[in-house]
Structure 1
Amino acid sequence: MPVKLVLACSSAVGKTCFFTMFETKTFPGFHLGATLEVSSAKVEVDVGRMMTVSIWDTAGQERFNSVNPSYYRRAAGAILMFDLSRKETLKDIDRHIKQIYKVVDPSEIVLVLVGKQK
């Protein structure tokens, strides 16, 4: 069974570009999306030990706030991204954490905060 990770943040932070880099190992440049994408890949977590990781790229637009929590179920980790040049995206992190904790017990998920600079 793959380990499920979710990407969560405000729109236009760079979450989908991060997701695409994981999937293709290339930087895609600009992307404007409003859908859920899922990608799986085998990664080495220890010398000689491979694990399948499934990354779920959720929609960042506010109109998807009611849908995104359903994607957080059974996630082992969440990557919370913000844009260093846009303070409101850092303030939104608290909202994303509260959404995640509504469906996943805090003791069962690892949260990673990533600040992106242009």
Structure 2
Amino acid sequence: MDLTLWQYQFRIIMLGDSTVGKSSLLKRYTENMFLESINQTVGVDFYVHFLEVELGVRVKLQFWDTAGQERFRSVTRSYYRNSVGGLLVFDITNRASFDRIKDWHTEVCERVQPHKVLFVLVGQKSDRDAAGERAVSREEAEKLAGQLGMPYLEASAKTGHNVKESFELLARRVYQGLLSGEVELQEGWDGVKCAAPQALQLQRASQATASKASNSNKKCCG
């Protein structure tokens, strides 16, 4: 394994109803491209992107773009278990796609046990807000995200607004979860791959020491 390519690999799954713009978000992020008309995903498509999550730490992001239609659900469900991150996407002009976010979240959480998936909620097609097409307010989307324990961003694959931020927020959230121990490497699970597990152990030990020192200083200065 060539350690110069990446230290970690994260598998990220795209979730949400059909036509909310999951594939468009991925194309904008990985290829900086937007197509007004795009074929609906059949089954699962794959994308790869590399990101430096912090200085000197390179991550390979493997994206699984799942079909939103019910008839493909038996195929897409098989990919949940080997994912460490999920981008939950709805269309801000489509109320029904927002109302089904809880169902998507519940379905994934039930099927990934005993593993854990970290999420970011994304309201897609924010460019249509100015035209008065919004059907879901930012406030209620933020409230749902809070209830589900995840951050919320509004993005537009068409303009590029918050696309990079959405994916990188999720990647960094997974990375921090890995350092804190919230996400655990496990044999037979492909959600996270680590090129040098020993280095991760050293990073965790260093972070724990720094955290203890910080807490000690707070007590002294309190």
TM-score, normalised via structure 2 length: 0.50
Alignment partners' CA distance in 1, 2:114 and 2:35: 33
**Secondary structure class of the residue paired with 1:72:** coil
Which has the larger share of helix? Answer: 2
Q: Is 1:111 the equivalent of 2:104?
A: no
Q: Which has the larger radius of gyration?
A: 2
> For structure 1, which runs of at least 5 residues remain unmatched after alignment?
none
- How many residue pairs get aligned? The number is 118
The C-alpha deviation readout for 1:4-58, integer Å capped at 9, x for no partner, is: 0000110110001011112212223321313211111211100221110101000
The Cα RMSD (Å) is 1.7
Distance verdict in 2 for CA 1:37–1:46, change over 3 Å:
same
Using CA pairs under 8 Å that are at least 6 residues apart, name the structure with larger relative contact order, 1 or 2.
Answer: 1
Alignment partner of 2:50 out of 42, 47, 52: 42
Task: Kindly indicate whether the alpha-carbon contact (under 8 Å) linking 1:20 and 1:26 is maintained by their aligned counterparts in 2.
Answer: yes
- After TM superposition, the structure 1 stretch with the greater mean CA deviation from structure 2, 43-52 or 62-71, is 62-71
Which has the larger share of strand? Answer: 1
1:21 aligns to what? Answer: 28
Alignment partners' CA distance in 1, 2:47 and 2:77: 18
Alignment partners' CA distance in 2, 1:40 and 1:29: 22
Task: Kindly indicate whether the alpha-carbon contact (under 8 Å) linking 1:21 and 1:28 is maintained by their aligned counterparts in 2.
Answer: no
Percent of matched pairs sharing the same residue: 29
> For structure 2, which runs of at least 5 residues remain unmatched after alignment?
1-7, 129-222
Query: What pairs up with 1:1-118 in 2 under 5 angstroms?
Result: 2-35=9-42, 36-105=44-113, 108-116=116-124, 117=126, 118=128
**Secondary structure class of the residue paired with 1:45:** strand
